[in-house]
Chain A
Amino acid sequence: MNQTFIALIIFITTLIFVSLEKINRTVIALAGALLLIILKILNQHEAFSAIDFNTIGLLTGMMVMISIIKRTGLFQYLAIKISKLSRGNVFSLLFFLSIITGILSSVLDNVTTIILIVPITLAICENLEISPAPMVLSEIFASNIGGTATLIGDPPNIIIGSAAHLSFMDFIINLAPFALILLIILPFFISLFYKKEMTQNIEEGWAKVEKFDEKKAIEDPLLLKKSLIVFFLTIFVFVFHHNLGLEAATVALAGATLLLLVSNIDPAETFLEVEWSTLFFFIGLFIVVAGVEKVGAIQWLSNKIITLTRGNLTLITMAVLWGSGISCSFINNISYTISMVPVIHTIGKVTAFNLSPIWWALSLGACLGGNGTFIAAAANLVGVNILKRQGWVVTFKDFFRIGFPIMLISIILSSVYLFLRYLL
């Protein structure tokens, strides 16, 4: 059997099993990677060189920082404080909870955001005696939209930023304003599906919610002060990291190390909260994709895209955007993005295009595609499972009925945005 065929089989099998989630995705990615080495499609040196340590370092640094900041209770404090702005109106509550989720998700990973926000939402809704399902669904969608806004908001952006040498500010300038628009539209769209729920009278329960004491959510005020200083310092350095000649991973790891230093928290304890499984999933995927790249499959796919789009930048950008949005509604967006990076690099080499619109198309498609179905993103499953534990069942169909149109609308709006801003 020739090597191209074997590499393709390993790649496709890995993608399928990662998306099916019947077997742990990290085990699948590592198995695929090791098979490529054992079958001599890649040697160990080539495999290890394929790992993007800038991505791994950025993820690790952010995981360490967030695991420490989480202990302070800051995120719960913010969620309660912002919810109170709604002054007893269900739609306003939906609006503010979605906005704070989106904003938090632009600096936290989506799963962490959902784990922090949804329980607060449950507490509020239980006291208001209303169904938490519309709020939680809106938060799930908002977390995927918010993640699109920054370099550190969602893994596809971390991968794209590292591969395309796009800075923190590049993402803020090019994606954040558009993500904010989507975030503002989202609650209005959700309210169309839950018209009856939006008009409920919650005056009686609201008196209880107003008694929630957000100050008590702060668990460690001293750690909070230290964390905020280090966090904002890190964001400040992120803003200038390219001018300073620093890679994003250096900034994140420096922030994490500084926070460990000033917080005096045992690193062993913090490292237990680092998602090693996710990091090794990335490592496995980088190697699997390097395998198909080496045998020429990526080159072939890139040429095919160029031929089909007749080498037209607008068509390539739209193909990447829509292909990514639809694909990432069903398959894991991390494996998709890692696979697409070399494809786009190759398109760049062949056509000598300015690749910016294509990178933004990949980011928008991969991140927003996460809203398409509840299997599309880990945050979706986590949110739906928390609801289920409380007796509110959201089926695949329930999620699809709202999530897929949200994905489609956000991709249509992204098409308009990309066209007007970069392709006109």
Chain B
Amino acid sequence: MKIKEVMIPDLTSVSADTPVKEVVKIMSRQRMAGLPVVDNEQNVIGIITESDITKACLPGYYKELRNPSFIPDFDQFSKQAKKIAHLPVKEFMTTTVYSVEEDTSRTEAADLLFRKHLRIVPVVRAGKLVGILTPSCLCKNVMEED
């Protein structure tokens, strides 16, 4: 069985200039851990995940500290979140995108998800977005087949 039979044929995606606030709304509504970022021709140019956004909501120095537990809560998270809410998603997306072609085998796709610790992989046809693959949709498909 090929990935095109397993993927979510949903083309929910965002453009590079979509504000982070809007992206979070879409993720929450669609219950997606991440979204592909596409250009006008539906080419995948990045991936934005919940984890990318959470990381961006922490002040920069937190990422450099080995252990930030000595800093009391000064509402750094909410202040930073408000600061980035209106910024375009291109500032926070991952531009190294792992995608799979729609006729990739399930094993090959599962191997990619596992090796790269991915929670969402765009499925493409000649570089254009045709769907989404997540670990749960892949496993569900395999476990429910006769």
Contacts and interface: CB of A to CB of B under 8 A. Distances in A.
Partners in one complex: yes
Interface of A: 70, 73, 76, 80, 116, 118-120, 122-123, 126-127, 208, 211-217, 219, 386, 389-391
Contacts of A120: 65
B69 interface: yes
Contact of B69 (A116, A216, A386, A391): A216
Contacts of A213: 70, 72
B66 interface: yes
A353 B63 CA distance: 53
Contact of B70 (A118, A126, A214): A214
Contacts of B68: 123
B61 A390 contact: yes
Interface string B40-75: 000000000000000000011101111111111010
B61 A212 contact: no
A123 B72 CA distance: 11
Nearest to A127: B74
Given A119-B64, A389-B64, A390-B61, A217 B74 contact: no
Nearest to B61: A122
B72 A122 contact: no
A286 B71 CA distance: 45
A313 B130 CA distance: 78
A118 B64 contact: yes
B65 A119 contact: yes
Contact of A73 (B66, B71, B74): B66
Nearest to A124: B61
Given A212-B71, A213-B72, A126 B66 contact: no
A219 B68 CA distance: 11
Interface residues of B, number: 14
A122 B63 CA distance: 11
Nearest to B68: A123
Interface of B: 59-61, 63-72, 74
Contact of B59 (A118, A126, A216): A126
A120 B65 CA distance: 7
A308 B36 CA distance: 68
A391 B60 contact: yes
B61 A217 contact: no
A202 to B, nearest CB: 15
B65 A212 contact: no
A100 to B, nearest CB: 15
Contacts of B74: 127, 208
A93 to B, nearest CB: 15
Contact of B61 (A73, A126, A214): A126
A219 B72 contact: no
A389 B69 contact: no
Contacts of B60: 122, 126, 389-391
Nearest to B62: A123
B65 A216 contact: no
Contacts of A73: 66-67
The 5 residue pairs across chains A and B that have the minimum distance between CB atoms: A119-B64, A122-B61, A216-B70, A217-B70, A119-B65
A77 to B, nearest CB: 8
A108 to B, nearest CB: 14
Contacts of A116: 66
A214 B61 CA distance: 16
Contacts of A119: 61, 64-66
A391 B64 CA distance: 13
Given A119-B61, A390-B61, A391-B60, A212 B70 contact: yes
